[in-house]
Structure 1
Amino acid sequence: MPGCAHECCRVVITKVCPVITFDRRKGLATWTASPQNRLMEPVTLATERLSLRTFTPADTGEVYEACQDPDIQRWTTIPSPYARADADGFVNRMVPDGWRHDTEYTFAVRALEGGPLVAAASLHHPRSGAWEVGFWTAKEHRGRGYMTEVVLGLARWAFTDLRCTRLEWRAEVGNTGSRSVVEKAGFTVEGTLRGGLLNKGTLRDSWVGALLPSDLGLPSHQPYLPART
């Protein structure tokens, strides 16, 4: 999430130009694809209550205000203290670069009817088949189940349209709020990685969890054979 830059090797691959439609029965926006030799363009998704779209320069002030929260600074990798220049760099460089280079898709979360910034959420692509979800929620919007709804919406999009076969989550040990979100979304917390997360120049132990397409009753783009126990 804001403050984490991901380097990549840019290649020209066949991607899609999305056409978004909203299925109210499923509470999720879907998009149809027309193949083109281009990288991913920002898309807009929707859940039952929320709209997810890319950040724009108009969001800079709200990002700055939300990231003054000590809990966001403590548990995410954003700079601390968090300056307006950090918000500007996130909105105007990091977010568009992620879409442009096909490495991270970051969304501003608001109510369907509009209103203030509720949260930020992203998917980034550490290796073939796997994606990782990251997020923060503005303090005044916590406790309403918004982020679990967002994570489930992103998971369905990733499994359906991004050919994701495993959606991962990592958080520093002790970040019980983040863990609660993903457990409610159906993730299995698989263990603890020693020194698994770099935050503010220090390696910290992290929880790691994952969600598979089958956990949501969706088909996988690759066959999966669980180990026998």
Structure 2
Amino acid sequence: MEHVTLTTERLVLRPFAPADTDEVHAACQDPDIQRWTTVPSPYAHEDAALFVQRIAPGAWRDGTEYAFAVRPHAPAEDGTHPLVAAVSVHHPRENTWEVGYWTAAGHRRRGYTAECVRALAHWSFTALGCTRLEWRAEVGNAPSRAVAESVGFVVEGTQRAGLFNRGTVRDCWLGALLPHDLGLPSPLPHLPADTAATARDGDRADRPGRA
């Protein structure tokens, strides 16, 4: 897929470029990003360069993951448009994508992350043929969960040993967003469990009983 730029009321989401390297490196020095995400720890400038210049563009070419740098439309007081967040979707299995994100420490509690995740979800459902968008976070990552729930993700439970990070498997929360949660049609019909159960019960009722 060719590179795509997404826009929201306040933000621009565009694929990472080499010019983002220094800001990615600076943002990923934050202890919370290193604690709750799978970025290397410690995080060297070489790690940022590898991600921005090779990993992210390679995944775009392969169609396996689409990562976006998030910047505001309006300039900051110094006239720059700082990197405020990163958001991506990757493709773990057919018709399902998984979202990931972090927010730079100086730009939290402004609703930026929910705004860009909502835009990325809409794009995933309309451009990628996604029928289910998943979110996972290690149990205890309350800020990530708050963002997911504010977008409309339904937390479906806890997966034991559901995340691998730094040589260990960790329990994680699992949530999902479906197209109709955003008022969008699904690329495939959805048969919810309660509907399927009703259909089965009706089928059994129509069968003649044994004498």
Q: TM over 0.5: same fold? A: yes
Helix, strand or coil for the counterpart of 2:122?
Answer: helix
Q: Deviations over 1:186-217 (max 9, x none)?
A: 00000101100001111000100000001111
Counterpart of 1:7? none
How many aligned positions are there? 190
- In the alignment, what sits opposite 1:48? 9
What letter corresponds to residue 81 of structure 1 in structure 2?
A: P
TM-score, normalization by structure 2 = 0.88
Correspondent of 1:81 among 17, 20, 42:
42
Q: Confirm whether residue 174 of structure 1 aligns to residue 140 of structure 2.
A: yes
- The unaligned stretches of length 5 or more in structure 2 are 76-80, 198-211
* Alignment-derived partner of residue 110 in structure 1: 71
Separation of aligned partners in 1, 2:184 and 2:82: 33
Q: Which runs of 4+ in 1 moved over 3 A?
A: none
Q: Tell me, what secondary structure is at the counterpart of 1:152?
A: helix
Match of 2:183 among 217, 220, 224: 217
Write 1 or 2 for the structure with the bigger share of strand: 1
- Aligned residue for 2:82, secondary structure, equals coil
From 73, 94, 105, the equivalent of 2:55 is 94
Over alpha carbons, which structure has the higher Rg? 2
Aligned residue identity for 1:106: A
Q: Percent identity?
A: 66
User: Aligned pair 1:139/2:105, yes or no?
Assistant: yes
* Cα distance in 2, alignment partners of residues 180 and 191 from structure 1: 15
For 1:163, the equivalent position in structure 2 comes to: 129
User: Is residue 169 of structure 2 the alignment partner of residue 208 of structure 1?
Assistant: no
Q: 19, 25, 29: which one pairs with 1:64?
A: 25
Alpha-carbon offset, residue 161 of structure 1? 1.2
Residues 139-185 of structure 1, C-alpha deviations (whole Å, 9 max, x = no match):
01000011111111011111111110000000000000000000000
1:191 paired to 2:157: yes
TM-score of the superposition, structure 1-length normalised?
Answer: 0.82
User: How far is 1:226 from its partner?
Assistant: 1.0
User: How far, CA to CA, are the matches of 2:63 and 2:131 in structure 1?
Assistant: 17
